[in-house]
Structure 1
Amino acid sequence: MGKKVKKENETPSKETFEALPFEGKTPATVVLLLSSPEEDILIKACEALHIFAEKGDENKVSLLELGALEPLCQLITHNNKLVRRNAFMALGIMAINGDVKKALKKMNVIPSIIHKLSLEEDTVVHEYATLCLAPLSLDFVCKVQIFDNKGLPSLIQLLSSPDPDVQKNSLEIIFNLVQDYQCRLAVHELGGIPPLLELLKSDFPVIQHLALETLQNVTTDKDSRSTFMEDQGFDKLMDILNNTDCGDLHAEALRVLANCLSDSECVQLIHKDGRLTRLMDFLVNPNMPEIQSSAVKCIAGVAQISENRILLHELNVEKVLVELLSEADTGVKTSTCQAVAAMSFHLASGIPAVVQGLSSENLKLREAATQALSNLTHSNHLNAFAVYEAGGHQILVQQLYGSCSRTVANAAATLGHMAGQEDIRCSILSHGAIQALVEPLKSTDTQLLIHTTQCLAVLACDTEARAELQSAGGLQPLVNLLRSNHKEILQNACLAITLCASDVPTTAEMCKFGALEMLQEINQSVNRSSSFSKMAMISLINCNLPVKYSLTGHLASTDIISDGFYDAGKVSALLQFMCYRSQFKECRLNLNKQVLKLQISFWNLNLLFKVSAM
């Protein structure tokens, strides 16, 4: 036998363990692999989850329930480029789902996502990172997080990305952010307007729409409008408007244009270059009703400033508006009425068409028509008569029964303007205007009360009108307005009471409702007292000289004492005294013995002897 030789110890092998092929059969298994330390497995697991999530919302929710969200949020910051990219792809697809979005809001993942928006990152990462932020940017808290973590500068940079998906997602986020004023200003300060204008040339309509909608918000700021004009924004919009192939963009382009035209400096600049004429041409040419309506709104915006109205007048805009009033489309008519209201020019030839709008079933058109007539008849007798000729006063009286407070206010204002002419006033009264004004007197709407009391003050100069107001129950709500703290309402109410105090019956009725007491209190107030309240007080007591003497201790040289005057002394219950005295006088004049007996029961015996001795 040979000699045994001792074997030396073998050194450990340096070869790596042979890779095992692995196929995940269930989403749960793949989710578990997201915790693997091996990059190849992470890459394949994220890719598998992305493919699975793309197939529908049920899969997205399933992955959420399996706990995939937290490891994916960690992997988007992984050192390996492919791991980051695939993790973003899976996370971005999942974030579209509402349930996933709610979960993401609680995970404070926004700073990590924004950090990966740098230009050094892969375009695919940009696409899915912005896809992830887009639904989150609808939430107010998330908007604040995006803004505070300096997300806006990176998003503006990505507007110039060569990838249209990145552009679209970034635009969507910026659009959501600029709904807030602070972000709106920041977009301008960060140089966001030039890339937004550049995207108007995009081959993708969705990008063009988003760019215009974002510009519409941004150009509400004056400085942003100036930058927009300096970068030839107006010309680029007009290029879109003059391109028939861009018809789907016209309405949005006009809304951006309307913002610019609300600025007098921009209008002057546009007019100087003859570009305002191009807009007028666009109005005249046949267009889709929505486009034409938006174009007219631009004109209405321009006309808000007096200097601009002069420019529009030079361009003969009144003729164009009159023609547009005959359009069949309700939207065009409504916008045109709004433009007419803003212009306030002498459009007597267009008034019949505006009056027709009062009978429309469309509430917005009726409101716009009443506003236009209110402006047209203000200090303009010719236009007031044109409304009367067109039968507008009859329809306006019916509008006083409407449910829209602005329409009722406009109708009352127009009737008040028209009632300055006696013939028109009589016709307005004959159609029941006084009774129609009673309900609006009970409103709490400030503008409605202002115009209603103004209208009543004009109509109440007629004796029959005052009697009708009393019988319709309008005196009490009128007196109640003396409690108002609004200066104009209080003054108008005092003026109407002054006119109503021309008759003894209405005076007595108003005093019964506490008018004299309230006026005494108003006139003792430093803040509420005015010449109107003093005039109303004098009118009330002038109607009953015994009460005036009892209250003031003297009579004026213009006070004519007639049969029935007596000195009742200082009466403690002055208001009740006045009411009873006027009622007694009325009964005595009518020789109604039965009513006289009822009145006598309320009188003090000594006072009765004095009155009987007259």
Structure 2
Amino acid sequence: MGKKVKKESEPPSKDVFDPLPIESKKAATVVLMLNSPEEEVLVKACEAIHKFAEKGDENRSSLLGLGAVEPLSHLISHEDKLVRRNAFMALGVMAANSDVKRLLKKLDAIPSIIGKLSPEEDVVVHEFATLCLASLSVDFSCKVQISDQEGLEPLIQLLSSPDPDVKKNSVETICNLVQDLPSRVAVRELNGVPPLLELLRSEFPVIQQLSLRTLVIVTTDTDTRATFREEQGFDRLLEFLCNKEFSDLHVEALQVLSNCLEDRDSLQLIHETGGLQRLLQFITTPTLLDIQTNAVKAIYRVAQSSENRKLLHEQDIERSLVELLSLEGDSLRTATCQAVAAMSLHLASKDAFRDLDGIRAVVQLLGSEGGEVREAAAQALSSLTSSNQLNAYAVYEAEGDEGLVQQLHDVIPGAVAHAAAVLTNMAEQEVLRCSILSHGAMAALLEPLKSADTHTLVRATQALAALACDAEGRADLRNAGGLVPLVQLLQSNHKEVRRNACWAISVCANDEPTAVEMCKLGALDLLQEINSSANRRNKFSEIALQRLLDSNLSLKYSLTNTLAPTDITMDGFYDPGKVWESLPFRWL
């Protein structure tokens, strides 16, 4: 055997560069690496940027300044799967920065992001692509672009992803998109309601909450509510509400329920399945204030139709509402008063509230510090006393007339308008009217008669007419200086305000001193002007003019050249001659 000779290794090829491990502690260097043609370098650079961006918004701003966003927006479409995944991880975290979002919008990155939501793509890509969209979708123009690029359909499909982060980001994006009406309709058309309902069973509260928030918005659409019923949405919702572990999310669940109960079919369905009784339990069972408040709001929404009010009355809802009036919490009291107002449109409910001493409980709320409570309490009393003199007297017995007169000074227009409406209802009874006047009602009406709020003006003029139907009321009005703003309302451009002012003047013209004073203020001239206009004339303006003329027969004869058989001339009657219609009559 020959001697063994050591085999020499072949010399390395001259055109091959030896591998170079790269380590850098400078973000700028890593950003430069994003332009490398080598996939391994790109993977490591994207990974480093992702970790750096996760540490805070200041780092994201720094990366933006170094120019990292534009190359990353290109790398999310790279042909290498690992590069694409890491680029999405980096960009997804960076998109939380407001300046990064603006740049991504400018770079028109949304189509590329949506394009990576396909089922074939990696789940990590899904996670960070949807994270990008969740950040971008808070911007209106981005919402429009996501919708235009048909991004909603793949997002709905991803609601069924096995990955909870993908579900969370997807439903968050959808929640942002449905703030706009077209997307709400699209969710229903793309069969998005079933997966949203399925998310209620998620073990992650944030996913449940985002799903509920989305359902709150989409169920404002009538057709979506029908789909909600068809997909056994009430069963899912009641199952959710019955679980005390989810009590923190019951507010949103009740908001969905409230929307759906606007439909008669929905109410009938939930009643048949025992859901209505469950809703009433939320009202009467001591629990979180927000939960009770939203349960009452749901009742208020239900009570918008006469058939629903009848059904609620059969469930003795009035007793539950009266009990709530004594509880603390302005939001709960406001919602309860509004529900009382709605239910009081049902005749039997008016009597039930009185029998349960609910009227006294509402009257007490007129003195609340919260303006919304005062307004809602007056609204409830307005509904309770409408066409119901027994309830009007109950308000008087509860000493509510004084509080209502005081509320005419309120800074909240709605509180003033509702208070005036209650006083109008009460003034039909002489005893009540005298009591109201004794509290200075005519003086209190001065400011409402000057209000810029049309609804307040309408109610104030109605109250004035109701209170001025006797000599005492008219004297109070004159002494308070209320004739000046009343006559000025004849010049209002609002038809109902002008009509009510005419009616109030016709009532006030029943005694001569008040009629003379109004004519001195120009009421006669204004009424003649109104009656000469085909558009502004109405039966009340004609009656008001006639009443003013009846108060001074000399003027009536001068203007009309005739007197009625019922006109009885007294000492002082004279013929002043024909008054030219173009000249105002001088009151001496």
Give the TM-score normalised by structure 2: 0.94
Question: How far is 1:14 from its partner?
Answer: 8.6
The equivalent of 2:30 in structure 1 is 30
Question: How far is 1:180 from its partner?
Answer: 1.1
Is 1:351 the counterpart of 2:359 in the alignment? yes
The equivalent of 1:60 in structure 2 is 60
Is 1:373 the counterpart of 2:381 in the alignment? yes
Question: How far is 1:226 from its partner?
Answer: 1.1
The equivalent of 1:593 in structure 2 is none
Alpha-carbon separation, structure 2, partners of 1:359 and 1:141: 47
- Contact persistence 1:416–1:458 (CA under 8 A): yes
The equivalent of 2:572 in structure 1 is 564
The equivalent of 1:155 in structure 2 is 155
CA root-mean-square deviation: 1.7
Is 1:193 the counterpart of 2:201 in the alignment? no
Alpha-carbon separation, structure 2, partners of 1:443 and 1:320: 37
Cα gap change, 1:487 to 1:178, in 2 (>3 Å): same
The equivalent of 2:4 in structure 1 is none
The equivalent of 2:393 in structure 1 is 385
Is 1:510 the counterpart of 2:518 in the alignment? yes
SS in structure 2 of the partner of residue 179 of structure 1 = coil
Deviations 1:52-109 (A, max 9, x none): 1111212111110111111111111111111111111111111111222222222211
The equivalent of 1:479 in structure 2 is 487
- Contact persistence 1:441–1:453 (CA under 8 A): yes
Alpha-carbon separation, structure 2, partners of 1:577 and 1:528: 22
SS in structure 1 of the partner of residue 179 of structure 2 = coil
Is 1:143 the counterpart of 2:143 in the alignment? yes
The equivalent of 2:442 in structure 1 is 434
Is 1:461 the counterpart of 2:444 in the alignment? no
The equivalent of 1:122 in structure 2 is 122
Q: Which amino acid counterpart does residue 364 of structure 2 have in structure 1?
A: Q
Unaligned segments of structure 2, at least 5 residues = 1-11
1:446 to 454, 459, 483: 454
Alpha-carbon separation, structure 2, partners of 1:517 and 1:70: 75
Deviations 1:330-369 (A, max 9, x none): 3322221111001002211211111111111111111111
Question: How far is 1:271 from its partner?
Answer: 2.2
- Range with bigger deviation, 21-30 or 117-126: 21-30
Where do 1:142-541 residues align within 5 Å?
A: 142-344=142-344, 345-346=349-350, 347-348=353-354, 349-541=357-549
Q: Which amino acid counterpart does residue 337 of structure 1 have in structure 2?
A: C
Question: How far is 1:544 from its partner?
Answer: 0.7
Alpha-carbon separation, structure 2, partners of 1:573 and 1:69: 80
Q: Which amino acid counterpart does residue 370 of structure 1 have in structure 2?
A: A
Cα gap change, 1:573 to 1:523, in 2 (>3 Å): closer
Cα gap change, 1:575 to 1:271, in 2 (>3 Å): farther
Alpha-carbon separation, structure 2, partners of 1:455 and 1:268: 40
- Range with bigger deviation, 252-261 or 569-578: 569-578
Alpha-carbon separation, structure 1, partners of 2:537 and 2:392: 34
Alpha-carbon separation, structure 1, partners of 2:583 and 2:368: 48
Question: How far is 1:574 from its partner?
Answer: 8.2
SS in structure 2 of the partner of residue 150 of structure 1 = coil
SS in structure 2 of the partner of residue 327 of structure 1 = coil
Where do 1:519-598 residues align within 5 Å?
A: 519-572=527-580, 577-580=585-588
- Range with bigger deviation, 176-185 or 520-529: 520-529
Question: How far is 1:575 from its partner?
Answer: 7.4
Deviations 1:407-461 (A, max 9, x none): 1000000010011100000000000010111110111212111111111110011
- Contact persistence 1:512–1:576 (CA under 8 A): no
- Contact persistence 2:262–2:302 (CA under 8 A): yes
Alpha-carbon separation, structure 2, partners of 1:44 and 1:17: 19
SS in structure 1 of the partner of residue 225 of structure 2 = helix
- Range with bigger deviation, 111-120 or 274-283: 274-283
- Contact persistence 2:525–2:584 (CA under 8 A): no
Q: Which amino acid counterpart does residue 304 of structure 2 have in structure 1?
A: Q
Q: Which amino acid counterpart does residue 488 of structure 1 have in structure 2?
A: E
Question: How far is 1:488 from its partner?
Answer: 2.1
Unaligned segments of structure 1, at least 5 residues = 1-11, 581-614
Question: How far is 1:475 from its partner?
Answer: 1.3
Deviations 1:291-331 (A, max 9, x none): 11111111111111111001011111111112222223333
Give the TM-score normalised by structure 1: 0.90
- Contact persistence 2:382–2:419 (CA under 8 A): yes
Q: Which amino acid counterpart does residue 402 of structure 1 have in structure 2?
A: D
Q: Which amino acid counterpart does residue 361 of structure 2 have in structure 1?
A: A
Runs of at least 4 residues of structure 1 off by over 3 A? 12-16, 572-578
Percent identical residues: 63
Question: How far is 1:43 from its partner?
Answer: 1.1
- Contact persistence 1:508–1:578 (CA under 8 A): no
Alpha-carbon separation, structure 2, partners of 1:437 and 1:552: 35
SS in structure 2 of the partner of residue 159 of structure 1 = helix
- Contact persistence 1:408–1:448 (CA under 8 A): yes
Alpha-carbon separation, structure 2, partners of 1:242 and 1:132: 35
Question: How far is 1:516 from its partner?
Answer: 1.4
Question: How far is 1:534 from its partner?
Answer: 0.2
Question: How far is 1:468 from its partner?
Answer: 2.1
SS in structure 1 of the partner of residue 493 of structure 2 = coil
Q: Which amino acid counterpart does residue 229 of structure 2 have in structure 1?
A: M
Q: Which amino acid counterpart does residue 335 of structure 2 have in structure 1?
A: S
- Contact persistence 2:365–2:374 (CA under 8 A): yes
SS in structure 1 of the partner of residue 18 of structure 2 = coil
- Range with bigger deviation, 170-179 or 486-495: 486-495
Alpha-carbon separation, structure 1, partners of 2:533 and 2:432: 39
Q: Which amino acid counterpart does residue 34 of structure 2 have in structure 1?
A: L
Alpha-carbon separation, structure 2, partners of 1:340 and 1:120: 56
- Contact persistence 2:282–2:291 (CA under 8 A): no
Question: How far is 1:276 from its partner?
Answer: 1.8
Question: How far is 1:576 from its partner?
Answer: 5.4
Alpha-carbon separation, structure 1, partners of 2:37 and 2:67: 18
The equivalent of 1:48 in structure 2 is 48
The equivalent of 2:82 in structure 1 is 82
Deviations 1:555-595 (A, max 9, x none): 11111111111111123488754421xxxxxxxxxxxxxxx
Alpha-carbon separation, structure 2, partners of 1:370 and 1:244: 36
Q: Which amino acid counterpart does residue 470 of structure 1 have in structure 2?
A: R
Q: Which amino acid counterpart does residue 185 of structure 2 have in structure 1?
A: L
- Contact persistence 2:467–2:473 (CA under 8 A): yes
- Range with bigger deviation, 262-271 or 347-356: 262-271
Alpha-carbon separation, structure 2, partners of 1:274 and 1:26: 65
- Contact persistence 2:251–2:294 (CA under 8 A): yes
Alpha-carbon separation, structure 1, partners of 2:521 and 2:181: 50
Cα gap change, 1:13 to 1:243, in 2 (>3 Å): closer
Question: How far is 1:47 from its partner?
Answer: 1.0
